Amino acid sequence: MKKKLCIIIVTIVTAVPVFAWKTFDRVIAVVNDTAIIQSELMRRYQIVTKKQTPKKPEELNPILDNLIERALIEQEAREQAIIISDEKVMTHIHNIMKSQKIPSLDVFKKMVEEKEGISFEEYKEEIRQSLLTEMLVSLAIGVSPPSRDEAYQWYKENKNKLGNEVHIKQIVIRPKNSSFAEEKRANELINQIRDRILKGESFEKLASQYSEDPSAKNGGDIGWIALAEMDPYMANTVFRMKKPGEISTVIKTQTGYTIVKLIDSRPTSFETVQDRILNMLYQRNMGEQFKKWIVTRRAQSDIKIYLENYRQS
For residue 74, give the CATH number of its domain: 1.10.4030.10
What is the span of the domain harbouring residue 199? 163-267
Q: What is the pLDDT of residues 240-289, one digit of tens each?
A: 998 999 999 999 988 789 999 999 999 888 988 898 899 899 888 888 88
Same domain, 31 and 141: yes
* Residue 19 covered by a domain: no
Q: What's the pLDDT at 309?
A: 83
Same domain, 261 and 295: no
Same domain, 188 and 261: yes
Residues 6+ apart with CB under 8 A from 254: 102, 111, 115, 231, 233
Same domain, 50 and 141: yes
Over residues 9-33, mean pLDDT: 58
Q: What is the pLDDT of residues 145-180, one digit of tens each?
A: 889 999 999 999 998 888 789 999 999 999 988 788
At 222, the amino acid letter reads I
* Residue 223 covered by a domain: yes
Structural domain count of the chain: 2
* Residue 43 covered by a domain: yes
Q: Is residue 6 classed exposed, middle or buried when 0-12, 13-18 and 19+ CB atoms within 10 A define those classes?
A: exposed
Question: Mean pLDDT for the chain?
Answer: 86
Q: What is the pLDDT of residues 49-85, one digit of tens each?
A: 888 888 888 889 999 999 999 999 999 999 888 889 9
Same domain, 141 and 282: yes
Q: What is the pTM of this model?
A: 0.59
Same domain, 43 and 187: no
* Residue 117 covered by a domain: yes
